[in-house]
Amino acid sequence: MEQPQTELPKATHPALAAVLQFFTRDKVFLVAFIIALNAMVFGSAHFTTKYFDWKVIVTVFGLMLVIGGFRASGLLRFIGETMVSWSKTTRQLVRFTTNLTFFLAVFFTNDLTILTMLPLYLYITKHVQNRKSVYLGAAFIVPACHMGSTLLPFGNPHNLYVYNFFNLASNNLAFFKGTIPMWLTGLVVLNLACFLIDKEPIHIETKPKEFNIVEVMIFVALMVLMATSVFTKANMFGVPFYWTAAVITALIVFIYKRELFKTADYHLLLTFMCFFIIVGNLVNIHQITDFVQHTFGGAQGAFLGTVLISQLISNISAAVLMSQFTTHGMSVLLGADVGGIGMLTASMATLIAYKIISVQARGELAGFAKYFAYCMLAFLAILTLFGLLIVSVL
Low-confidence winner among 55-69, 89-103, 131-145 (lowest mean pLDDT)? 55-69
pLDDT at 27: 75
- Report the DSSP beta bridge partners of residue 239: 236
Both ends of the chain: CA-CA distance in Å? 80
State the pLDDT confidence band at 133, using cuts at 50, 70 and 90.
Answer: very high
Residue among 118, 79, 17 at smallest CA distance from 352: 118
State the average pLDDT over residues 52-57. Answer: 84
> Is the pLDDT higher at 196 or at 76?
196
Residue 345 confidence (pLDDT) above 70: yes
Which of 8-22, 196-210, 255-269 is modeled with the greatest confidence? 255-269
- Asked if 372 contacts 346 with a C-beta cutoff of 8 angstroms, the reply is no
Residue 170 confidence (pLDDT) above 90: no
Percent with pLDDT over 90 in the chain: 41
State the average pLDDT over residues 42-48. Answer: 70
**Cα angle for residues 177, 182, 26 (degrees, 5° grid):** 115
> Is the pLDDT higher at 14 or at 113?
113
> Is the pLDDT higher at 362 or at 198?
198
State the pLDDT confidence band at 40, using cuts at 50, 70 and 90.
Answer: confident
pLDDT at 17: 82
Which of 12-21, 120-129, 309-318, 329-338 is modeled with the greatest confidence? 329-338
Residue among 131, 126, 129 at smallest CA distance from 205: 126
- Asked if 384 contacts 307 with a C-beta cutoff of 8 angstroms, the reply is yes
**Where are the extended beta strands (E) located within 164-297?**
235-236, 239-240
**Where are the extended beta strands (E) located within 85-186?**
none
Residue among 143, 112, 108, 87 at smallest CA distance from 386: 143
Antiparallel, parallel or unpaired: β 239-240 and 235-236: antiparallel
State the pLDDT confidence band at 46, using cuts at 50, 70 and 90.
Answer: low
Question: How many CA atoms, within 13 angstroms, populate the side-chain half-sphere of residue 56?
Answer: 28
Residue among 294, 297, 386 at smallest CA distance from 337: 386
CA dist 255 and 273 (Å) reads 28
pLDDT at 372: 93
Residue 5 confidence (pLDDT) above 60: no
Low-confidence winner among 37-51, 61-75, 122-136, 306-320 (lowest mean pLDDT)? 37-51
CA dist 334 and 388 (Å) reads 9
> Is the pLDDT higher at 190 or at 55?
190
CA dist 185 and 45 (Å) reads 42
Task: For residue range 357-371, list pLDDT tens digits in order.
Answer: 988 888 898 999 999
Mean pLDDT of the chain: 86
